[in-house]
Structure 1
C-alpha cells in the first residue's frame, strides 16, 4: 500500500528532474555555442572546399583554353600537321635545338614522337611553371597523337572505340537480386556517425550527471526529497532529450547545406541532359540501397550503445569526487571507442576471424565494431542477437551500478569511492 502512495510522488519528482535538467542545459550559452559550432564549421569547410574546387576547375579550364605553343618531331608519320597546328604545335627538324630552347627557358614545350608510339616512349620536355600553375604537357602530347590517329580511321564508330573510353553500366547480383553496393552502407553507417557525435558532444554531460551535485555539496539536501534512482533516471532522460535537440540542430543544416552552398557560391551544376545515361542513379538503384533490416539493427545498436556508455560514464562519475578527476577517465573511454578503427583492415579482410570476433563481443569495442560490420553486411544474424543481448545487458548493468554507486558514495566529497564498500553493503 505504501508503494502505491509513493508512486505518484516519484513520477512527479521524475518529471521535475527532467524539466529542470533540460531547462538548465538549454539556457547555457556554452551548450548552444558547442551545438551550433558543428554545423557552422561544416558550412564553412564545405563552402571553402567547394570554392577552392571551383577556383581550381576554373584555373584548369583557363589553362586548357590557353594553348601552349610547342615544337615537335614526328618519326612515326602519324601526326596530322593541321591538328597539331590547331593545338599550337610547330614541326621542327632539329630536335636538339628545340630541346635546348626549352632547357634555356626560351620555349615552353618540345615533343618528340618516336617511330612506334605503341612500343617506344614519347619524349616530352617542358618548362616548369611551378606548382601553382601546373601544365599537363603529357596530356597535350597524347591528345595530339590520339586526334591524329582518329583522323586516319575512316570508320567513325571504330575511331571512337579506339580513342575514347566506353561507358559501362555494371550490375552485381546477390541471392538473385541486384546488390546495392557501397550505397547500402550509408544509412546503417549513419548511426555510427550519430553515436560518435553523441559521445563527443554529450560525453562530459554523461560524466557529470552525478558529479555536479557532489562538487556543489548539495547531494544530502537533494536526496532528502528524491530517491537516487529517480534522480539519475530523470537526468538520463533529460540527457536523451537534449541529445534529440542537438540531433535536430545538426540534421537541419545538413539537409539544406548542399543547396545553400550552391546558391551562395553561384555554382553552375550540369543538367541531367548533359550527363551520361548511367551517371544518375535510377529509382530502382536508390530503392535497392535501402536495407530495412540493416537500418533497424543499426538503430538498435545505436540506442543500446548510447545507454551502455551513458551507464558507464554515470558509474565513473559516481566514483570520482570532482569533475576534474572524472574527466581523466573519459580519455580511456574515447580510446576504446576508436580502437576498432585501428583494426579496420582486419574487420574488412577477415570479418569472421578471431580478432574481429573479440572486437565484436568485447563490451567497450562491441558497439562500434558491430555497427561497422552491420553497415558492411558482414554481421551474421546470430552475431547480431548475441551483440544486442550483450550491449543491452551491460547497459542495464552499468546503469544499475551507477545508481548504487551514487546511493553509496553520494556524499564522498573529498576522496574516490571505495568499491569494496559498495559491494559489501547490504543496501540495494
Structure 2
C-alpha cells in the first residue's frame, strides 16, 4: 500500500506540475529568449561579415603619402591608388569631393597612428577607408619580408602544443579534465535555482488550501514528502532538457555564425573517481537543500513569509564564489575548509574542489556522508513538521512544540 501511495503521489505531483500553464510559460520563456538572441546574433554576424567583405571589395579612389618607406607602390597601384604629391593637396581634394580618400602613413606605423581622410559615406561605410589602409600596410610589410614562414611568425600565428605532467609522472588532463566534473556544479545550480521556489511551496500549497488534514487521513506524511522530493527531481530533469535544447540546436546548426569554439571530445579527460564523487555530491546536496526547503514550507503559514528564508538559502550557495580564487589556489586555507564542511556551502565548495582535483578522498567521503546524513535527518524533521503543521494555518509552527525533547517524550510514554 505504501509503494502504491508513493507512486500515486509522484504521478500526481509530476502530472499536476507539467499540466500547469504557468510552469511551461516559466520554463519556455528562457529558451525562447535564448533562441531570439541566437537568431539576432546570427543575423547580425551575417550582416557584419557581408559588410566587412563588401568594404574590402569596394573600389574607391585614394592617394597616399608614406614616410615609413614600407608601402609597396605596386600593391597600391593594383588596388587603384596613387601617390599624392603632398598631404595638404590630397586633403583639399577629399574636402572638395574629387578624391574619395587619402592615407598618411607615418615614419613608424608600429607606434604612430596612420591618418585616414575620406568622404563621408555613412557611419558604417566609412570603415572601408581604414580597412583598405590597414590592408595595404599589412600586404606591403609581408611583401618586404619575402618569406611566408617569417610573415606567419611576425603575425604571431604560431601553433603550440603544451604538455604538463602531474606528480605521478602522467600527462595532466588540463582544462579537459576540469570540465566534466564541473558539469555537476552547473547542474546543481540549475536544479536549485529552477526548483528552489517549487521546493518551498510544495507543502505550502496544501496548507494554504486547508487540505492537509484531509490528505493525512489517507496518506502517510513520510510517503507524501518523499513523493514530492522525487517528483521535484523528475520535473527538474524535464526543465534541464528544455533549457539545453536551444543550446544544442545553436551549437549544431549555428556554431559558425555564433563564433562558438569547436568542441573536441578527444581533449576531455574523464576521471571515474571525480565523476562518482561529483554525482554523489550533487545528489546529497540536492537532498539536503530539498529537505530544508520542504521543512521551511512546513513551518511557514504562507509563501510570502517563507520567501525570506528562501532568499537566505539561495545566498548560501553563492557565498563560496566570493572565495573562488582562494578555493582554486589555496584549498587548505581556513576559510576554504569552513566552506567545505559547512553543510549549506559544502556542495558548491566541494564540487569546485573536486573539479580542480584538490578534494582529497577522505574529504570527499566525509562531505558526501555529511550531506546524505543531514539530508536524511532534515527530511525526517520535515515530515514531523508537516504532520504537526497540518493544523497550523495562521501562524508559524513552533519547533519546540513540533520536536519534543526526550524528557517530554519519556513523560508521555510513562
- TM interval, shorter chain, is 0.7 to 0.9
Query: By how many angstroms is 1:54 displaced?
Result: 2.0
Distance 1:158 1:325, change over 3 A: closer
| Corresponding residue number in structure 1 for 2:215 | 222
- Higher mean C-alpha deviation, range 91-100 or range 130-139: 130-139
Instruction: Give CA deviations for 1:64-112 in whole Å, capped at 9, x if unaligned.
Output: 2224543221233332211022334321131233345667887654333
Query: By how many angstroms is 1:317 displaced?
Result: 0.4
Query: By how many angstroms is 1:365 displaced?
Result: 2.0
In the alignment, is the contact (CA less than 8 A) between 1:71 and 1:98 conserved in 2? yes
| Corresponding residue number in structure 2 for 1:205 | 198
User: CA separation in 2, counterparts of 1:347 and 1:69?
Assistant: 60
| Corresponding residue number in structure 2 for 1:35 | 27
Q: Does 1:233 align with 2:222?
A: no
Query: By how many angstroms is 1:416 displaced?
Result: 0.6
| Corresponding residue number in structure 2 for 1:4 | none
| Corresponding residue number in structure 1 for 2:371 | 391
Q: Does 1:170 align with 2:150?
A: no
| Corresponding residue number in structure 1 for 2:188 | 195
In the alignment, is the contact (CA less than 8 A) between 1:171 and 1:178 conserved in 2? no
| Corresponding residue number in structure 2 for 1:275 | none
Query: By how many angstroms is 1:161 displaced?
Result: 4.2
- Higher mean C-alpha deviation, range 235-244 or range 343-352: 343-352
User: CA separation in 2, counterparts of 1:282 and 1:320?
Assistant: 49
In the alignment, is the contact (CA less than 8 A) between 1:202 and 1:243 conserved in 2? yes
Residue 364 of structure 1 aligns to a residue whose secondary structure is coil
Query: By how many angstroms is 1:395 displaced?
Result: 1.5
Q: Which of 43, 54, 58 pairs up with 1:51? A: 43
Distance 1:150 1:24, change over 3 A: closer
Query: How do 1:12-161 residues align onto structure 2 when only pairs under 5 Å count?
Result: 12-67=4-59, 69-99=61-91, 109-115=101-107, 117=109, 121-127=112-118, 132-133=124-125, 135=127, 140-153=132-145, 156-157=147-148, 159-161=150-152
Instruction: Give CA deviations for 1:243-278 in whole Å, capped at 9, x if unaligned.
Output: 23333444455444433557xxxx7899xxxxxxxx
- Higher mean C-alpha deviation, range 124-133 or range 293-302: 124-133
Compute the TM-score of the two structures, normalised by the length of structure 1: 0.82
Question: Unaligned 5+ residue runs, structure 2?
Answer: none
User: CA separation in 2, counterparts of 1:359 and 1:11?
Assistant: 38
User: CA separation in 1, counterparts of 2:327 and 2:396?
Assistant: 38
Residue 343 of structure 1 aligns to a residue whose secondary structure is helix
In the alignment, is the contact (CA less than 8 A) between 1:99 and 1:125 conserved in 2? no
User: CA separation in 2, counterparts of 1:325 and 1:138?
Assistant: 61
| Corresponding residue number in structure 1 for 2:297 | 317
Residue 174 of structure 1 aligns to a residue whose secondary structure is coil
Question: Unaligned 5+ residue runs, structure 1?
Answer: 1-8, 271-278
Query: How do 1:200-349 residues align onto structure 2 when only pairs under 5 Å count?
Result: 200-261=193-254, 285-286=266-267, 288-349=268-329
In the alignment, is the contact (CA less than 8 A) between 2:61 and 2:81 conserved in 1? yes
Query: How do 1:390-409 residues align onto structure 2 when only pairs under 5 Å count?
Result: 390-409=370-389
Compute the TM-score of the two structures, normalised by the length of structure 2: 0.84
In the alignment, is the contact (CA less than 8 A) between 1:337 and 1:364 conserved in 2? yes
In the alignment, is the contact (CA less than 8 A) between 1:209 and 1:232 conserved in 2? no
- Higher mean C-alpha deviation, range 107-116 or range 412-421: 107-116
Q: Which of 349, 356, 374 pairs up with 1:376? A: 356
Instruction: Give CA deviations for 1:94-151 in whole Å, capped at 9, x if unaligned.
Output: 1233345667887654333344556x62532345767645627565444323422333
Query: By how many angstroms is 1:318 displaced?
Result: 0.9
Residue 343 of structure 2 aligns to a residue whose secondary structure is coil
